[in-house]
Amino acid sequence: MNQQLRLNKFLAERLGVSRREADELIATGKVTIDGQPAVIGNKIDSKSKICYNNKTIPFNIEFIYLAFNKPVGYVCSRHAQGSAPTIYEILPKKYHKLKTVGRLDKDSSGLILLTNDGDFAYQMTHPKFHKEKVYEVELDKPLEPLHQQMISDYGVMLDDGPSKFTVIKSELAKPSSSGRSSRPSSRGSSLSPRSDCGFPSKEVSQARYTVILTEGRNRQIRRTFAALGYKVTKLHRTNFGKYELNGLESGKTTEFKI
């Protein structure tokens, strides 16, 4: 027996939208089933030909989930921006059809997830799911305690609204009892002073911090510190939700299961 599936669920999974947004797409008349305009509530099966904006959406697809340690200098886009190359120039060709789950700016490095599963991308990026992201940040000067408390407890007003996230003095910046830098044990994650974290342990700065946030606004961390008179000199993402770099080298990828 050919299993049936609600059209809005199918569109949500393939396009990375909510089911309500999928219903709105159906209502525009841009979704067709076997050449006929779809209506809200339609069900489909593997024999149905589904099109959106005159492009066929395959019914059966093998989902791929990829972790990538993005180097500094690349943009998370399919098209180069000025002289900055795109990450797809260094990704293996077999992954070129995958889309990024959120982005990191050109000057930032670290964990990027890519997939062809729209529903996974939606659940990882929509604000209502509150996915934590962890960054190791280096500033041009140590953060004043009052400013650290302001960001973590009250937030800083930006042009697009208040910005609030947790700022913790990085363990990399704290000398151990032996006088050497210690490895962080925060949250049980693999945040260690290795090549995957972007901050070599032999050059310990006193202006390094761990930032934890659940929002994903454009250059939010950089803009928040800039509003208080600081410049972010390095920004490296180590964790995204339950996923982490875990020793993945810069420029390398690894597939994972969900």
- Helix segments in the chain, DSSP class H: 7-15, 19-27, 118-125, 145-149, 220-227
102 contacts 125 by C-beta, under 8 angstroms: yes
- Give bridge partners of residue 213 from the DSSP assignment: 133
Rounded Cα–Cα distance for residues 53 and 27 (Å): 13
Strands 99-101 and 36-37: unpaired
Rounded Cα–Cα distance for residues 123 and 18 (Å): 9
Q: What SS3 state is found at 112? A: strand
105 catalytic per annotation: yes
7 contacts 33 by C-beta, under 8 angstroms: yes
Q: At what angle do helices 19-27 and 7-15 cross, to 10 degrees?
A: 110
131 contacts 239 by C-beta, under 8 angstroms: no
Amino acid occupying residue 235 = L
Amino acid occupying residue 92 = P
> Which residue is catalytic, options 23, 34, 45, 105?
105
Length of the chain: 258
Percent composition of the chain: helix, strand, coil (DSSP 3-state, to 5) = 25, 30, 50
Which residues are catalytically annotated? Answer: 105
